[in-house]
Amino acid sequence: MHPDFLDCRVATLLAMTIRTVTIYESLNRPMSEKIRRIAHLDMDAFYASVELLRYPQLSGLPVVIGGTRRAADALIDPLQQEKPLHRIALDDFPRLKDYTGRGVITTATYAARQFGVGSAMGLMKAARLCPQALLLPVDFPQYRKYSKAFKAVITDIAPLMEDRGIDEVYIDFTDVPGGQREGGRVLARLIQKTIFEQTGLSCSVGVAPNKLLAKMASEFNKPKGISIVLEQDLQDRIWPLACRKINGIGPKAEARLQGLGIRTIGDLAQKDLDWLIDHFGQKTGAWMFDAARGRDDRPLVLESEPVSISRETTFERDLHAQRDRAELGAIFTRLCQQVADDLQRKGYVGKTIGIKLRYADFKSVTRDQTLERYTADAKTIRHSAGLCLKRVPLQQALRLLGVRVGSLHRAGPDLQPKAPAPPVSDAASATGVAASSDQLF
């Protein structure tokens, strides 16, 4: 046998031995030598899964959640049903093939995703891909209820949690019992099991040395998966992935990278820092350099304050400020009321009131104004948002309307929001509030 071949075999065996010892040591390291273990927990098809708890007869079927409530939803409305929800016949559920409008998908069951249907896709396009899918309206109060429930389970077990939205969180496993065992798998399994027992919902968990890798790992074995990534797994498990898998690299950045011949995270890791800075700038280039090497020192943000609270809606058809003034006025009033309700429910007041319009040609405009005093009052928000409307052109038809309150502050003794006011009526949008501000609709 050739000596060079023997040398190669010896080197390979040595590398495998070192790797095996390293993995064994990391999995069985004494508690006095704890390594950082961060988990990313992502609920599986969260909105759809909540709906399946109400309608178990839909389990295993393609189901799409999206759009606003429609007349066809009356037969399945939980507030109007006299018989148990699980007894509603399948024929009573609206079908995607019958949908007309411009709503978008919020989420879909895994059975629907097999047909290429996914979040943010237009419902009309989805209807062509999966016409037999059942269509349910979005029910945010119900989703918020279950979101609070699963997060309460987590903090009872592992108190250091960063809330990342209605259906995902980061958790610090480092000092929690079981957080080091099998790289964090033991604790992940406990949390996963307890969430299911107490809510009926499933989740997927990724555990890694940092938030960047944990986020990627949580996608490896969806649904109901647990994925463990160790420091030495970078080349085998992370580098073969597309650059788009790095949270923070979007479609535009991915297209630029591909134009430069970079398709995988491994390709990106081969580029030196100066090259990346030359092509993407100091900040982004330095971040890409670290991200490709699995480096991320960001701490968990245990408490965060929202920058603003907003509500917006995309219309089923284009609406014109003159021809559809009454309909637009009612929608505008409802959005202002919803923002006010959100502020009061979350305990905030704000003083920057803004609007967002998107025209039929997809161009968007925003306007805002800052008040002298903080508010969470629906009529005040409606009045100020109406003044913002006077500063935008309304000759074109509209496809989207939104209202935002920013410059938020916790409602303390000196900034206490008023008790929830009675809803601003549609009539008020045409008389009282609207007249006082001379609004356009």
Sign of CA dihedral 27, 28, 31, 33: negative
Q: Is 168 a catalytic residue?
A: yes
User: How far apart are the C-alpha atoms of 153 and 192, rounded to whole Å?
Assistant: 10
Question: Which burial class, exposed, middle or buried, applies to 156 when counting CB atoms under 10 A from its CB (0-12, 13-18, 19+)?
Answer: exposed
The answer to whether residues 243 and 249 touch, using CB atoms and an 8 Å cutoff, is yes
User: How far apart are the C-alpha atoms of 404 and 157, rounded to whole Å?
Assistant: 36
For residue 299, give the DSSP letter.
P
Residue ranges of E strands in 52-120: 63-66, 105-108
In sequence order, the 6+-apart residues with CB closer than 8 A to the CB of 8 are none
Q: Which two tokens stand for residue 277?
A: 């800075």
The answer to whether residues 384 and 403 touch, using CB atoms and an 8 Å cutoff, is no
Q: Which of 311, 303, 304 is nearest to 405 (CA)?
A: 311
In sequence order, the 6+-apart residues with CB closer than 8 A to the CB of 197 are none
The DSSP line for 375-415 is E--HHHHHHHHHHHHTTS--SS-EEEEEEEEES-EE--TTS
What type of residue sits at position 103?
A: G
CA contacts within 13 A on the Cβ side of 230? 18
In sequence order, the 6+-apart residues with CB closer than 8 A to the CB of 303 are none
Of 25, 33, 168, 305, the catalytic one is 168
Residue 193: Cβ within 10 Å count = 10
| Region for 60 from its dihedrals, namely left if φ exceeds 0, alpha if ψ lies in -120 to 50, beta otherwise | left
What type of residue sits at position 227?
A: S
Residue 161: Cβ within 10 Å count = 18
Which residues are identified as catalytic? 168
